Chains A and B, each alone.
Chain A
Amino acid sequence: MAPTFETRFSPLTQVQRTRLLPEPGRVLVQPGDWVHPDDVIATAPRQAPLRIIDIAQLLGVSPAQAAKAIAVREGETITKSTALAQTGRGPWRRRYQSPIAGIVQSVVGSQIFVRQAQQTLQLKAYIPGIVVDTIAKRGATIRTNGALVRAIWGAGGAAHGVLATMVEYGHQELTWGRIGLRYRGTIVVGGVLRDPRVIHRARQFQISALIVGSITPEMRERCTEARIPVVVTEGVGEIPMAEPVFNLLRACHGHAAVANAQGGDSELIVPLRGPQVEMADGQTDLKPGMRVRLTRPPYLGLLAEVIRTSDYPEATAIGSQAKGALVRLSDGRKLFVPLLNLEAIE
């Protein structure tokens, strides 16, 4: 039995994603419907926001004084002009008007809790494709064909746009100077991300998402706080984007794509037309001739070809035993690499 291991890249596969509401709601699509990423496929009532208005803080008085000044009661409907509190008399009278409309949920001490009007949560399709199934009151499953890059990390949520490859090679740095207004709404592809100004510019010019091979360690926190999706395909450091992945993204320059930057579940999908293909489940059998990526230092990010696989554990360079494969690096060196340190790359 050939050992199975993780696959991170499929140039053409069937991608199926199930989109679910966090709360029960209404599903707006039916099996057979075609959807675009921005189409709303389900809606649900969203919790009404609850706001606190601290009268003591606003009037600059003690909580006890503020509590006496409060002029509204629990359950009362208020508008933006309702007087929430009142102090003094005659010319010394001070009123504090509500900045929001809603219902007074409670008054605790000098704090008024106001519930605002209910909102609606809209669930978008995320990927373009055909609805193959619906889940009552919760959502739907959508299917498309295309290239799938399962990234190692990401942050910032989902976005879609046209792919714009900004570098010549997968090892090149994505620099801020390359990002301009003409790329607004695109998914920008680069090699290495190390300059925080790239993120600043990307937000400034409303870039949809950034796809890079690697980021420097200090960029992780910046990416998390960036409020723009950043998808990292390889890891942390100066690791080039794997050649097959980069070549495909470069070939797809100008194609529509969707990116989901969500920790370890991050991905990039480039919907493509092609023959009917089977769905990738993230696992594949390891076979001689297969191209793999090495994932552990000092070989992290290097590509290799499988020469043979081992049915039984073999000794690694430091003597530990593991199942794996003998691989040939691009410089001709041969190595035995544990299965856990390999990923399929095509």
Chain B
Amino acid sequence: MSRPVEPPVDGASVQPMPSHSVSLAHPNQAGDAARSMLMLDVGSCTTRACLIDLVDGRFRFLAQAEVATRLASGQPITEPVIEAIAKIEEISQRDLMRDGVPVTPESEEAAGADLMLTASSAAPPLDCVLIGLTRDLSIESACRACAGSHALIRQTIILGRRAQNWDNRAIALLRETPPDVLIMVGGVDTSPTQSLEDAAKVLSVIYQDVPEEKRPVVVFAGNQEARRPITRHIGETFDLRFVDNVRPNLHTETLSELQRELEDLYAVEKLAALPGYHMLSQWCSAPISTTTEALSTTWRFMAEKNQLARGVLGLDLGGSTTYVGAAHGGRYQWTTAAAMGTSIGIDGLIDASGLRDIARWLPQHLEPQALTERLENMRLRPLGIPTTREDLDVTLALVRQALLLTIRRMRRQHWHQVDKQPVVETTPAFDVIAVRGGTLSSMHDDALLGLTLLDAIQPTGLAHVVIDWASIWPQLGMLARIAPLAALQVLSTDSLRHLGTVIAPIGEASDGERALQITFAPHDGEPREISIPAGTIRCLPLAAGQEAEVSVRPSRAFDIGLGSKGQAGKAKVQGGSLGVIIDTRGRPLSLPQDTERRRGKMQEWLGLMKHGTNV
């Protein structure tokens, strides 16, 4: 069985950073000397601020505040930041600003903070136009790359082999509302380049008289042979960037370079273009990072500091964007579903999955028309929060579908290639599953939250589930680069809400057949023998902070994440509000097709999450 899951270690047992994590943390003098930190995350819907300070020699999370971002009407990004800091001042009874400007470093009168760090995802995604020669191959690959980045494809122009398919409408649109990025793809390496050259010439003509600052950035991710002629034709007209061909040959797909370039462009072209960005930059002690970049640091930090062999699967569910990252074995893989979330991103979610796939997660009947109206109103008023069970169920249906789709993207982009199997329909085993997002963090019903995550993520093997209850992981990612000790202490002490450890075998069996035989031995209690049938959920009580030894003997139909069915394993597990959750519903989870049966099952599973401890 996998090595025991160990949630982030206590600050007292901090080990030096392993050498391979140098890229993560660059502790500098300012970071080492800092005693207090004011950290912000400016999202598209909500801006969050938090204050960290030394308390009895340890860094602690002291206060957090959140305000609506509201950038739609051209409001500078500094306004919600100031509003959030003012709230922190009110909560902490401490002056952090002077004349409306944050004070850094902390003054002798204990006003201000030594460090101010900001992460942001407040800018809309990159507006992209995709230009290719044929509808398949390269265009499909480029679409997949954009689907995993902060990028939305506004229009796809298929030129045909002779690059003749320009039309007046497309050209007028390209000139009147230039996109942020023109992505050119096409041709395998070593194929003829004439069509791409002609396309480049046309782009040059289209934008010749457009002011330079309004011209899009051109990212060329096509036939590498065309680089030189394309530079000749448009190198002086555009900010031209070359990345690896997304289809170097018919059988290979290379997306990472294009994705990396798009993420860099998002930070430079979109985030930096927000009103007030430069003022905010001046206030900060380090460059403003994208929220996803900061989060990736946090998750890599978690995996490296705790030497988790199977790593961390992180999920961030936002109102407009869903982001999934996996830090394992020194690698980091990620995908961003831009414009797919639980409020502003509802349209994208409906487009990607359809209303029916969202409705299947509802435990009660809701007419399609009524559901559509609800979703539309949630999109129009993205800051609202559910206050009735039915409303919460609709929100959680969106959560499940957004996470499910983004994990599916992750699987297609990374995991099935890594595992070198045909398309893998299960989530690989991770030691820790780290989840965040306003909707999830604020939920008080852990059983409902746990079931939602099990349904959406469908973890396999053994994984400890933690929630970013205070919504401070991005800020801690920023902090980890400058003051890793402070980040580690706050991360381990104050930022994790432990839901529990999930044991979820892969396999199929009829409901009621024996699936697992478990010996559960809490450190402070008597060992128990438990038999768990297939198709069910059970929770074994084990409070947060407590540990237990668990021996699992699966039946021949199930693999508990060790690579073969029937193989037994033993592990030390950590507790949480739900204890140890055993999910034998099988992977991938299949919901009953019959609506009534499905709803009945969902109610039954929720009941088991809440009361399934009597095993």
Interface residues of A in 190-244 (CB under 8 A from B): 216-217, 220, 235-237
- State which of A82-90, A157-165, A246-254, A296-304 sits at the interface with chain B: A296-304
Q: What 0/1 pattern do residues 309 to 331 of A give for CB contact below 8 A with B?
A: 00000001111111000000000
- What per-residue 1/0 map shows which CB atoms of B561-595 lie under 8 Å from chain A? 00000000000000000000000000000000000
Given that A113-B205, A320-B443 are contacting pairs, would A297 and B376 also be in contact in the complex, using a CB cutoff of 8 Å? no
List of B residues within 8 angstroms of A322 by Cβ: 385, 442
CB distance from A171 to the nearest CB of B (A): 15
Taking the closest CB of chain B, its distance from the CB of A5, in whole angstroms, is 9
B210 contacts A47, C-beta separation under 8 Å = yes
Q: Which residues of A contact B390 (CB under 8 A)?
A: 297-298
Contact with A along B191-207 (1 / 0, CB 8 A): 00000001001101110
Q: Is the interface of A mostly helix, strand, loop or mixed?
A: mixed
Give chain B residues whose Cβ lies under 8 Å from the Cβ of A168.
none
Residue among A1, A115, A340 with the highest chain B CB neighbour number at 10 A: A340
Contact of B380 among A23, A48, A235, A341 (CB under 8 A): A235
- Nearest-neighbour CB distance to chain B for A246, whole angstroms, equals 19
Q: Is the CB of A317 within 8 A of B387?
A: yes
**B377 on the A face (CB < 8 A):** yes
Quick one: which of A47, A54, A152, A321 contacts B444, CB cutoff 8 A?
A: A321
Q: Which residues, 367 to 411 on B, are CB-close (under 8 Å) to A?
A: 369, 372-374, 376-377, 380-381, 383-392
- Who on chain A is nearest to B199 by CB? A108
Residues of B in contact (CB 8 Å), total 46
Cross-interface CB contact of B391 among A237, A264, A265, A298, cutoff 8 Å: A298
> CA of A1 to CA of B65 in the docked complex: distance in angstroms?
15
Measured in the bound complex, the distance between the Cα atoms of B369 and A50 in whole Å is 44
A295 to B376, CA, bound (A): 12
A320/B176 in contact, CB under 8 A: no
Question: Is residue B164 within 8 Å, beta carbon to beta carbon, of the partner chain?
Answer: yes
CB contact under 8 A between A320 and B444, given known A52-B171, A265-B73: yes
Q: Taking the complex as formed, is A30 at the interface, i.e. its CB lies under 8 A from any CB of chain B?
A: no
Select from chain A the residue with minimum beta-carbon distance to B73: A265
Question: B163: nearest residue on chain A (CB-CB)?
Answer: A109
Q: With a CB–CB cut-off of 8 A, which chain B residues contact A47?
A: 175-176, 209-210
A296 and B164 contacting across the interface, CB-CB below 8 Å: no
Enumerate chain A residues within 8 angstroms of B444, measured Cβ to Cβ: 318-321
Contact residues in A for B164 (Cβ distance below 8 Å): 54, 56, 63, 109-111
Residue of B with least CB distance to A153? B380
Contacting pair B210 A264 (CB below 8 A):
no
A51 interface residue (CB < 8 Å to B): yes
Residue contact B373 to A237, C-beta cutoff 8 Å: yes
Indicate if the CB atoms of B445 and A318 lie closer than 8 Å.
yes
Residue in A54, A237, A338 whose CB lies within 8 Å of B377: A237
Inter-chain contacts of B72 with A (CB < 8 A):
263-265
Across the interface, name the chain B residue whose C-beta is closest to A239. Answer: B377
For residue A264, which residues in chain B have a CB less than 8 angstroms away from its CB?
A: 72, 380
Q: Does A337 contact B (CB under 8 A)?
A: yes
Q: Which residues of B contact A237 (CB under 8 A)?
A: 373, 376-377
Give the contacts of A99-136 with B (CB-CB under 8 A).
105-106, 108-111, 113, 115
Closest to A106 in B: B205
Closest CB of chain A to B196's CB: distance in Å? 12
Query: A337's contact among B163, B172, B211, B387, by CB below 8 Å, is which?
Result: B387
Give B153-192 interface residues, CB cut-off 8 Å to A: 162-164, 166-168, 171-172, 175-176
Q: Which residues of A contact B377 (CB under 8 A)?
A: 235-237, 295, 297, 300
Residue A49 CB within 8 A of the other chain: yes
The digit string for A48-74, where 1 denotes a CB below 8 A from any CB of B, is 111110101000000100000000000
Residues of A within 8 Å of B210, CB to CB, are 47
Cβ contacts under 8 Å, A300 to chain B: 377
Contact status B166-A296, CB under 8 Å: no
Q: Are A340 and B384 in contact (CB under 8 A)?
A: yes
C-alpha spacing A109/B164, complex, angstroms: 8
Chain A residues contacting B209 (CB-CB under 8 Å) are: 47-48, 115
Q: A48-B209, A52-B166, A340-B383 are in contact. Are A298 and B388 (CB under 8 A)?
A: yes
Knowing A47-B209, A108-B202, A321-B444 are in contact, say whether A217-B389 is a contact too (CB < 8 A): no
Q: Are A338 and B166 in contact (CB under 8 A)?
A: no
Q: Which residues of A contact B603 (CB under 8 A)?
A: none
CB <8 Å contact, B168 and A52: yes
Q: Evaluate contact between A296 and B176: CB separation under 8 angstroms.
A: no
User: B90 contacts which chain A residues (CB < 8 A)?
Assistant: 1
Alpha-carbon distance A220/B372, docked complex (angstroms): 11
B107 at the interface (CB under 8 A from A): no
Q: Is the CB of B374 within 8 A of A297?
A: yes
Given that A296-B385, A340-B384 are contacting pairs, would A220 and B172 also be in contact in the complex, using a CB cutoff of 8 Å? no
Given A109-B198, A235-B377, A236-B373, the answer on whether A318 and B205 have CB atoms closer than 8 Å is no
B353 contacts A by Cβ under 8 Å: no
Question: CB within 8 A of A296: which of B73, B175, B384?
Answer: B384
Q: Per-residue CB proximity of A275-313 to B under 8 Å, as 1/0? A: 000000000000000000001111010000000000000
Output the nearest chain B residue to A115 by Cβ-Cβ distance: B209
- What is the bound-complex CA distance between A317 and B386, given in angstroms? 9
How many Å lie between the Cα of A337 and that of B390 in the bound state?
16
User: B347 — nearest CB in chain A belongs to which residue?
Assistant: A220
A220 to B375, CA, bound (A): 13
B252 CB–A CB distance under 8 Å: no
Given contacts A50-B175, A63-B164, A318-B387, contact A105 B208 (CB under 8 A): yes
Q: Which of A319, A321, A338 contacts B445 (CB 8 A)?
A: A319
The verdict on A63 contacting B384 (CB below 8 Å), with A50-B175, A318-B392 known, is: no
Nearest chain A residue, comparing its CB with the CB of B165 = A54
Give the nearest-CB partner of A316 in chain B.
B387
Of the candidates B163, B171, B202, B388, which one forms a contact with A318 in the assembled complex, judged by CB atoms under 8 Å apart?
Answer: B388
Chain A CB count within 10 A is highest, among B168, B376, B390, B392, for B376
Contact A297 B385 (CB under 8 A): no
Known: A298-B391, A300-B377. A341 touches B384 (CB 8 A): yes
- Distance of A18 Cα from B68 Cα, bound (Å): 23
CB-defined contacts of A317 to chain B, threshold 8 Å:
387-388
CB distance from B152 to the nearest CB of A (A): 16
Contact between A320 and B442, CB atoms less than 8 A apart: yes
In angstroms, Cα B209 to Cα A106, docked, is 13
Which B residues, 192 to 235, have Cβ-Cβ distances below 8 Å to chain A? 198, 201-202, 204-206, 208-211
Q: Smallest distance from the beta carbon of A326 to chain B beta carbons, Å?
A: 13
Q: Are B205 and A340 in contact (CB under 8 A)?
A: no
Report the nearest A residue to B445, measured CB to CB.
A319
- Chain B residues in 8 Å Cβ range of A319: 444-445
A295 touches B388 (CB 8 A): no
CA distance A63 to B201 in the complex (A): 16
Give the distance in Å from the alpha carbon of A54 to the alpha carbon of B163 in the complex.
12
Known: A47-B209, A152-B380. Is A52-B167 also a contact (CB below 8 A)?
yes
Cβ-defined contact, A338 with B387, below 8 A = yes
In the bound complex, CA of A115 to CA of B175 (Å)? 12
A296 close to B386 (CB less than 8 A) = yes
Chain A 327-346 residues near chain B, CB threshold 8 A: 337-338, 340-341
A237 to chain B, nearest CB (A): 4
> Closest residue to B383 on the A side, CB-wise?
A340
Taking a contact as CB atoms closer than 8 A, the residue among B162, B168, B211 that contacts A51 in the complex is B168
25 contacts between A and B (CB under 8 A): A47-B176, A49-B172, A50-B172, A50-B175, A105-B205, A108-B201, A109-B164, A110-B164, A111-B166, A217-B373, A235-B376, A235-B381, A237-B377, A263-B72, A264-B380, A265-B73, A295-B377, A295-B381, A318-B387, A318-B444, A321-B442, A321-B444, A337-B387, A338-B387, A340-B385
- In the complex, besides A318-B388, A320-B385, A338-B385, 17 extra interface pairs with C-beta distance below 8 angstroms are A47-B176, A50-B171, A50-B172, A108-B201, A109-B198, A111-B166, A113-B205, A216-B373, A217-B373, A217-B376, A235-B377, A236-B376, A264-B72, A297-B377, A320-B386, A320-B387, A322-B385
Which 9 A-B pairs give the minimum distances between C-beta atoms? A236-B376, A237-B373, A106-B205, A217-B372, A316-B387, A319-B444, A235-B377, A296-B384, A340-B383
